Amino acid sequence: MFVVLLGPPGAGKGTQAQRLTTSTGLLHLSTGDMFRENVREGTELGVLAQTYMDRGELVPDEVTIKMLLERIARPDAAEGTMFDGFPRNIVQATALDEALRARGDLINHALLIAVSDEELVARLGGRWLCRSCGAVYHERNDPPIKEGICDKCQGELYQRDDDSPDVVRTRLEKMKPPADLIEHYREAHVLSEIDGERALDSVTADLLEALR
Ligand code: AP5
C-alpha cells in the first residue's frame, strides 16, 4: 500500500504518520525529515536545502524528486510507504506516479488533512521535536511528561528554526497543497478529506477508517 499525506504546514502530517505507520507497518518517509538529516550532517544537499527551508520555500523539484526516488528504490520501501510532505505539486506527483508505475505499484490513498490558518499558527508556535527519535509534541495540546525531555527515548526536545513567526507566515502562504494536486488524486478516486482540527485520537481514527 502506498499512501500520501497531504496538508498545510502544522496540519499534523508528521504526528499522524508516526501513529499510522506504527499501526499499519508502512514505512514512514518524510522529505522534511530527510532534508533536516542532511542539514545536521552538513552534506551538500543539506547546505542547499537549508537556504530554502530557512525562507519557508520549497526546495527545487529536481533535487527533491531525485532524493525521494533514490530513497524509494531501496528494498525497505518495496512493500508499502506513507509519504509525508511529498508530493507538494503536480510535477512531484507525476514523478512519483511514474516511478511507482514502472515497478507495478500505484498510490492507493491520498489523505488530505484540513486545518484552519489560525489553528496552524498556534500549532507551529508550540511545537517541540525530539532530536534523537523525531517524536512530535505540542506544549499545550500534547506535552511531554517532563518539559524538554522526550517521553519515548529521553532525548532533548527542540523547536524548528522554520517555526519562527516570520517563516511560518511564508510557509502558510506558499506550502498549502495546490488545487491541481488535490484534483489529481480526486480524479484517481483515491482522495479522502479529513477534518484535522479535532483531538489527535479522533483524527487518527478517521485516517485509519479511510485506509480501510
Ligand atoms: P516539512 O517538515 O514537511 O514541513 P511542513 O510541510 O511545513 O509540515 P510540518 O512538519 O511543519 O507540519 P506537520 O503537518 O507534519 O505537523 P506536525 O505533525 O508536526 O518540510 C520542511 C521544509 O522542507 C519545507 O518548508 C521545504 O522547504 C522542505 N520540503 C519538504 N518536503 C518538500 C518537498 N516535497 N518539496 C520541496 N521542499 C520540501 O504537527 C504540528 C504541531 O501540531 C505539533 O506540535 C503537534 O503536536 C500538533 N498537533 C498535531 N495534530 C494535532 C491535533 N489534532 N490537535 C492538536 N495539536 C496537534
Catalytic positions: 13, 88, 127, 160, 171
Taking only the tens place, the pLDDT of each residue in 183-197 is: 999 999 999 999 999
pLDDT band at residue 74 using 50, 70 and 90 as cut-offs: very high
Place of cell 484517481: 188
**Ligand 1 mean position, distance from CA 19 (Å):** 14
> Cα–Cα distance between 81 and 115 in angstroms, integer?
24
Report pLDDT for 186.
Answer: 98
CATH of the domain at 74: 3.40.50.300
Give a yes or no: residue 28 inside a domain.
Answer: yes
208 lines ligand 1 (CB under 6 A): no
HEC secondary structure over 161-186: HHHCHHHHHHHHHHCCCCHHHHHHHH
Give a yes or no: residue 139 inside a domain.
Answer: no
Query: Looking at the 3D structure of the chain, how many domains does it have?
Result: 1
Give a yes or no: residue 158 inside a domain.
Answer: no
Give a yes or no: residue 126 inside a domain.
Answer: no
Give 3-state DSSP helix, strand, coil % of the chain, rounded to 5. Answer: 50, 15, 35
Give a yes or no: residue 133 inside a domain.
Answer: no
Q: Closest ligand 1 atom, CA of 16?
A: 18
**What cell numbers appear for 135 in the block?**
517524536
Taking only the tens place, the pLDDT of each residue in 126-155 is: 999 999 999 999 999 999 999 999 999 999
Give a yes or no: residue 140 inside a domain.
Answer: no
Report pLDDT for 204.
Answer: 97
Cα dist. 184→81, 94, 98, 166, 180 in Å? Answer: 19, 9, 14, 31, 6
Mutating to test ligand 1, I would choose from 66, 83, 84, 136 the residue with most ligand atoms within 8 A of its C-beta, which is 136
Q: Domain residues for 72?
A: 2-116+176-211
Report pLDDT for 15.
Answer: 95
Give a yes or no: residue 104 inside a domain.
Answer: yes
Please tell me the number of Cα atoms within 13 Å of 56 on its side-chain side: 20
> Cα–Cα distance between 149 and 130 in angstroms, integer?
8
Report pLDDT for 152.
Answer: 96
Give a yes or no: residue 160 inside a domain.
Answer: no
